[in-house]
Amino acid sequence: MQVRRAPTYSGFCGGVKRAWNRAVKASQTGEETIYLSGKLIHNTPAMRELASLGVRELSGADIAEGNLEGRTIIMRAHGEGPVAFADAEARGFKVIDATCPIVTAVQKIAVQLENDGYQVVIFGHRNHPEARATVAYTDHGFIIETLEEAQALPHYAKLASIAQTTVLQADYADLVAVLRTKADHYEDRGRICGWTLHAQDEAVALASSVEMMVVVGGRDSSNTIQLVRVSEPHCPTLHIETVDELTVEMFAGRSVVGLAAGASTRESDIAAVISFLEAIPAAVPALAGA
Ligand code: SF4
């Protein structure tokens, strides 16, 4: 079967590469365990690989046990709020900050807007670590997830919006249209990450030219979920984390399949999926009753 991969934006983005390299390097310093403030990136197989290198999330049990003075903790790529940094320092950790620089820039914009007197709203997922960390840098910023929430907002003198870096551009544009009506002075400072935008564009182009799409990435990866969303209107789309989730029968009757991958998907997982798909004879006849 022919496999067409998203040509440029599939697999580790710049921010994930940077965080990953820092974690791997830290694992080579001889410390038995390197702690993470949370999932370094949203990809379970990648997190398993880090665990095999001795890099794992800090747990409540670790904290209860104490004795963390001088140990290393890595702040996740999605960022952490100021309290998490202060807490790590108070416990005596050596802190490695793996926050993606694009996320750090968004955090700074949020603070600046608030200092300029704006009510800051962050469009993103309420439980996503990036949105939560960004809002934590403001005194009274808040996250909104839906247009309905935006419509229900009161009128502000000064209102500004920013966006979680991995949301869908079209969703954010719809939100901006509503927020414009909610303030005397409205400022749109949403900055969706360029990698995310290009990956979404490539996924749409690919999905429009193949019979089926496979999107490889973490189930909890926001940018991967958006790739699935933009592909689905164009062709049947599967979201998988690893090749083990695929069967030959899933591709019955197909000759050309597209492959997109999230920003935190390892190259080895992508390569395994491509090998699996390329080994399937083109246009396997559909199973009776399938
Ligand atoms: S998707 Fe963009 S914002 Fe998120 S880690 Fe990658 S480069 Fe940074």
**Of the residues 81, 99, 117, which one is the last residue of a structural domain?**
99
217 closest CA partner among 208, 226, 209: 226
CATH number for the domain spanning 125: value is: 3.40.1010.20
Domain shared by 273 and 219, yes or no? yes
Domain assignment of residue 28, yes or no = yes
Residue nearest to atom 5 of ligand 1 (CA): 15
**49 flagged as catalytic:** no
Domain shared by 72 and 149, yes or no? no
Integer-rounded Cα radius of gyration of the chain: 21
Domain shared by 189 and 110, yes or no? yes
Domain assignment of residue 40, yes or no = yes
Domain that holds residue 204: 2-10+195-278
Domain shared by 181 and 224, yes or no? no
* Given the residues 80, 130, 145, 202, the one annotated as active site: 130
pLDDT value of residue 282: 80
Measured between its terminal Cα atoms, the distance across the chain in Å is 20
Domain shared by 18 and 92, yes or no? yes
User: What is the domain count for the chain?
Assistant: 3
pLDDT value of residue 290: 45
Per-residue pLDDT of the chain (290 residues; tens, 9 = 90+): 999 999 999 999 999 999 999 999 999 999 999 999 999 999 999 999 999 999 999 999 999 988 899 999 999 999 999 999 999 999 999 999 999 999 999 999 999 999 999 999 999 999 999 999 999 999 999 999 999 999 999 999 999 999 999 999 899 999 999 999 999 999 999 989 999 999 999 999 999 999 999 999 999 999 999 999 999 999 999 999 999 999 999 999 999 999 999 999 999 999 999 999 999 998 755 554 44
CATH number for the domain spanning 91: value is: 3.40.50.11270
Q: Rounded to 5 degrees, what angle do the CA atoms 66, 61, 52 make?
A: 105
Domain assignment of residue 94, yes or no = yes
pTM of the model: 0.92
Both tokens of 3, joined, read 């496999």
**Of the residues 173, 193, 213, which one is the last residue of a structural domain?**
193
Domain assignment of residue 286, yes or no = no
In this structure, the residues whose C-beta lies within 6 A of any atom of ligand 1 are 13-16, 77, 100, 102-103, 165-166, 193, 195-196, 223, 263
